[in-house]
Chains A and B, each alone.
Chain A
């Protein structure tokens, strides 16, 4: 599955369009960035509520395919710029992290 296959009316792209051809092989849910840095597998779709610019840096460092921001939280403006620059797709989702993970799990089967 590619990042672009996730996009729908529920999962809307808010930044990083240049990266939507990336392959998604896994889903990872966590909000503590230090923990994500040491535990996430590359190629993951990362589900979080954090919106700070450091989220993009962590995604670049760990080779994450895309970031899914849940609960309708808005990405910070400088994070949006950084995501576009680094081609890290950021996707907004209004439901909870659990709901996002369930939907992604069905898609990835």
Chain B
């Protein structure tokens, strides 16, 4: 059965995302677009995961708890969890490991934490665009058994595993990679993709960029998405 997805969406918590990427706007836009499964992957924090999770539950969209970690090598890795509690604990650990650089909202934008009614309940104090203290290898080790780690936009020239580490290192639980929707084909990326399963999500920072009903999983059960990424 085909399930349409967008597993790379930023909320108002990510400084580079619009303030109107509120939990309700994201979930309603996903409904309008006809998506079956979404994930929220803010930079280095999971503070809006619970609100989006609750709204997805109410509105009948499958939600995968997630985060986009920036490793100490400045590689972006998407982490998807089986269990929301593991996701929230992991998010806390990543946030605590960030350097104590405060966000300058005039330069980078707001980092708004919202509840399920889109009320602003807090702001993340530390700049979420800095690197966590963990390496790529450590993130993959930490994710083993609790979810799937997926190198983000591997075809990009910045913040990608290929641009920053030259090529994809041999990691036993690295099975799936994400490529951009506007895939920039080159020889190295082509070679790398062959060995892995491949996801394409929107990396939406604005409401209109959330995926159309174009990318899908062909699975028997919608609850098997994270398992599929791990195997």
Contact = CB atoms under 8 A, between A and B. Distances in A.
Whether chains A and B associate is yes
Interface of A: 32-34, 36-37, 50-54, 57-58, 76, 78
B137 A76 contact: yes
B165 A33 contact: yes
Contacts of A53: 137, 169
B165 A54 contact: yes
B169 A37 contact: no
6 contacts: A32-B163, A33-B167, A34-B166, A50-B165, A76-B135, A78-B137
B152 to A, nearest CB: 16
Nearest to A50: B73
B166 A54 contact: yes
In this complex, which of A32, A37, A52, A53 has the most chain B Cβ atoms within 10 angstroms of its Cβ?
A: A52
Given A33-B166, A34-B164, 11 more contacts: A33-B164, A34-B163, A34-B188, A37-B166, A50-B73, A52-B73, A53-B137, A53-B169, A54-B169, A57-B166, A58-B166
Contacts of A37: 166
Interface of B: 73, 135-137, 162-167, 169, 188
A54 B137 CA distance: 11
A61 to B, nearest CB: 8
B162 A34 contact: yes
Contacts of B167: 33-34, 54, 57
Contacts of B164: 32-34
A53 B167 CA distance: 11
Contacts of A54: 165-167, 169
The 4 closest A-B pairs by CB, nearest first: A33-B166, A54-B165, A34-B166, A34-B163
Contacts of B188: 34
A52 B163 contact: no
B187 to A, nearest CB: 12
A109 B166 CA distance: 31
A63 to B, nearest CB: 15
Contacts of A34: 162-167, 188
A50 B169 CA distance: 14
A52 B135 contact: yes
A52 B162 contact: no
A11 B6 CA distance: 49
A37 B167 CA distance: 10
Contacts of A33: 164-167
A53 B170 CA distance: 10
